[in-house]
Amino acid sequence: MTPAGRAPVRSWLIWLTAVTVYLLAVFHRTSFGVAGLKAAERFGVGSAALGIFTVLQVGVYAAMQIPTGVLVDRYGPRRVLTAAVLILGSGQLLLGLADTYALGLVARGVLGLGDALTFVSVLRLVAAHFPAHRYALLASFTSCVGYLGNLAATVPLTLLLDGPGWTVTFLAVGAVTVLYSVPVALRVRDTPGGVPEREREPVRPAELARQVKLAWRTPGTRLGFWVHFSTMFAPNVLTLLWGMPFLVQGEGLPAATASALLTVFVFGSMAGGPLLGAVIGRAPALRVPLVIGYLAGAAIVWAVLLGWNGHVPVGVLVPAFGFLTLGGPASMIGFAIARDYNRLSRVGTATGVVNVGGFLATTVTALLIGILLQATGGNFRIALLVVVAVLAAGASRMLVWWRRARAHVFAAAARGEEVPVRIRRHRWDRAPEEAVAA
């Protein structure tokens, strides 16, 4: 059971140990944001082939989210996090030694696997160790700490790659990551103090499939999926791969300036995450309206960036990136919605389902941008139109499932059932009987 009162210090220490794994994972994930151009030189590849690195890593991440949720619910987050640290470190060690394109792809695939095991595990610990009304805030803090890894993967990593070089840099961070498996295994506990960890008996594949099906059929999970899909992919695409090439090759900025500009995503998310988490924790009915506001603003930002005559000035890029960075914190709303509408034993699975959304969008967008860059001779204005198309598609599906999820809430309230969030009916809401049909 999730604790009803204040969480003890022990729970905070467990969260801190676990969230450091997520910090390391984000560092490894976003390292190609500044290492991409050096990777192109090291492996002798062009834009389309370079895009495959991120597509592969993020594709593995997305494909593993539902299995990760099932693994966390089945074996507990401590074991999964320990495995994650070992896999992450091994992948980065391999990348440091890789001198061929094929071996580099294998290394990034291994990193994607390790990365995939982290975030869902940390959120499952939050659900177990902290009161339900603190979930949104702690999820935002988790994301905020992860962005410290993003920060380390900008200017500091750039300096290391220019100094000690590719091999020394990636071997060192890989070794540190592997060693961190020791405190994870010793300090993380799946349940709060005084609550015994339940014995986990073997589960049949049919039961696991049923668990995933139940999570997916829950309208709140589906809504969370499309919220995550729509909000986090654009800043992800920029920080993971295409931000640096866009600023250097497309906008003609020096590498150091471009690297510094990418830190806007870090500081914006670190400031916006806890603030947004506190707001939606106190007023959960505002969750989706805030997402809609962000998506509308993002559409305007992309219209400005892609429609600008000539190079976009730094004075425009900074506030534009500052607004887009709110997509990361806004994506946490998807997890909060899934947490509210799934029982605790299924939260890991539902969280994994939601997490597929943004990374599926990231994978598709990163791949199509690379293909269009190759086809247009490096025209970023045309290639980045993919972002606008994916944004529109995700927003439309989110609105559909928002109406369906609201109809289910009204239907449950009409039956006298307890609902996690009380909402007011509007004329555009679906009738409760439509929710049953859906």
**pLDDT tens series, the chain, 438 aa:** 444 556 678 888 999 999 999 999 988 887 876 777 788 888 888 767 777 887 788 788 888 888 888 788 788 899 999 999 999 999 999 998 998 999 999 998 999 999 999 988 998 898 888 877 777 778 778 877 877 787 777 678 878 888 888 889 889 989 999 999 999 999 998 887 655 555 555 556 666 677 778 888 888 899 999 999 999 899 988 887 788 889 998 898 988 888 888 888 877 777 777 777 777 767 777 888 999 999 999 999 999 999 999 899 999 999 999 999 889 888 888 888 888 777 767 777 888 889 889 888 988 898 899 889 988 988 999 999 999 999 999 999 999 988 888 777 777 666 666 666 666 766 666 655 555 445
Side-chain half-sphere CA neighbours of 220 within 13 A? 23
- Quickly count: other Cβ atoms within 10 Å of residue 307's Cβ: 9
The label of the residue with tokens 């993967």 reads: 153
Cα separation, 129 vs 144, whole angstroms:
19
- Quickly count: other Cβ atoms within 10 Å of residue 367's Cβ: 19
Domains of the chain in start order, with CATH, are: 9-191+206-437 (1.20.1250.20)
- Quickly count: other Cβ atoms within 10 Å of residue 221's Cβ: 25
Instruction: Please tell me the predicted confidence (pLDDT) of residue 2.
Output: 47
Cα separation, 242 vs 248, whole angstroms:
10
What is the token pair recorded at 221? 């999970």
Instruction: Please tell me the predicted confidence (pLDDT) of residue 396.
Output: 95
Q: What is the CA radius of gyration of the chain?
A: 21
What is the token pair recorded at 244? 């640096």
Instruction: Please tell me the predicted confidence (pLDDT) of residue 40.
Output: 81
Instruction: Please tell me the predicted confidence (pLDDT) of residue 165.
Output: 85
Total number of residues shown for the chain: 438
Look up the pTM and report it.
Answer: 0.73
Residue 385, SS3?
A: helix
Cα separation, 195 vs 111, whole angstroms:
34
Cα separation, 105 vs 114, whole angstroms:
14
What is the token pair recorded at 351? 């969280």
The label of the residue with tokens 């534009």 reads: 320
